[in-house]
Amino acid sequence: MRTVRLPDGTEVVALGQGTWRMGEGRHPRKAEADALRMGLDLGMTLIDTAEMYGEGGAEEVVGDAVAGRRDTAFIVSKVYPRNASHKGVAAACARSLSRMRVERIDLYLLHWRGSVPLAETVAGFEDLRAAGKIGAWGVSNFDAAEMAELVRVPDGSGCATDQVLYNPDARGIEFDLLPWCARAKMPLMAYSPVGQGGSLLRAPAMLAAARRHGATPAQIALAWALRHPGVIAIPKATIHAHVRDNATAATLTLTPDDLAAIDAAFPPPKRRQRLEML
Ligand SMILES: NC(=O)c1ccc[n+]([C@@H]2O[C@H](COP(=O)([O-])OP(=O)(O)OC[C@H]3O[C@@H](n4cnc5c(N)ncnc54)[C@H](OP(=O)(O)O)[C@@H]3O)[C@@H](O)[C@H]2O)c1
> Domain limits of the chain?
3-265
Per-residue confidence (pLDDT) for residue 98, from 0 to 100: 98
pLDDT tens over the chain, length 278 residues: 899 999 999 999 999 999 999 999 999 999 999 999 999 999 999 999 999 999 999 999 999 999 999 999 999 999 999 999 999 999 999 999 999 999 999 999 999 999 999 999 999 999 999 999 999 999 999 999 999 999 999 999 999 999 999 999 999 999 999 999 999 999 999 999 999 999 999 999 999 999 999 999 999 999 999 999 999 999 999 999 999 999 999 899 999 999 999 999 999 999 999 999 99
Distance between Cα 119 and ligand 1 center (Å)? 31
For 3-265, which CATH class? alpha beta
CA atoms within a 13 Å half-sphere pointing along the CA-CB vector of 3: 9
Cβ of 130 less than 6 Å from ligand 1: no
Instruction: Give the chain's count of helices (H) and strands (E).
Output: 10, 9
What is the enclosing helix (H) or strand (E) of 78? strand 74-79
Q: Residues 238-248: pLDDT tens digits?
A: 999 999 999 99
Cβ of 161 less than 6 Å from ligand 1: no
Distance between Cα 130 and ligand 1 center (Å)? 32
Per-residue confidence (pLDDT) for residue 2, from 0 to 100: 92
Cβ of 114 less than 6 Å from ligand 1: no
The region, left, alpha or beta by phi > 0 then psi within -120 to 50, assigned to residue 134 is beta
pTM of the model as a whole: 0.98
Mutate to test the pocket of ligand 1, among 109, 194, 213, 248 (most ligand atoms within 8 A of CB): 194
Q: How far apart are CA 124 and CA 113, in angstroms?
A: 15
Alpha helix (H) residue ranges in the chain: 29-41, 57-66, 86-100, 118-130, 144-150, 177-184, 204-213, 217-225, 240-248, 256-265
Compute the residue count for the chain.
Answer: 278
Q: How far apart are CA 22 and CA 236, in angstroms?
A: 9
Q: How far apart are CA 73 and CA 43, in angstroms?
A: 10
Mutate to test the pocket of ligand 1, among 53, 79, 242, 245 (most ligand atoms within 8 A of CB): 242
Q: How far apart are CA 120 and CA 27, in angstroms?
A: 38
Q: Residues 54-99: pLDDT tens digits?
A: 999 999 999 999 999 999 999 999 999 999 999 999 999 999 999 9
Nearest atom of ligand 1 to the alpha carbon of 49: 47
Nearest atom of ligand 1 to the alpha carbon of 196: 21
CA atoms within a 13 Å half-sphere pointing along the CA-CB vector of 143: 11
Per-residue confidence (pLDDT) for residue 1, from 0 to 100: 87
**Measured CA distances, 126 to 90, 107, 129 (Å):** 10, 12, 5
The protein residue with its alpha carbon nearest to ligand 1, atom 31, reads 242
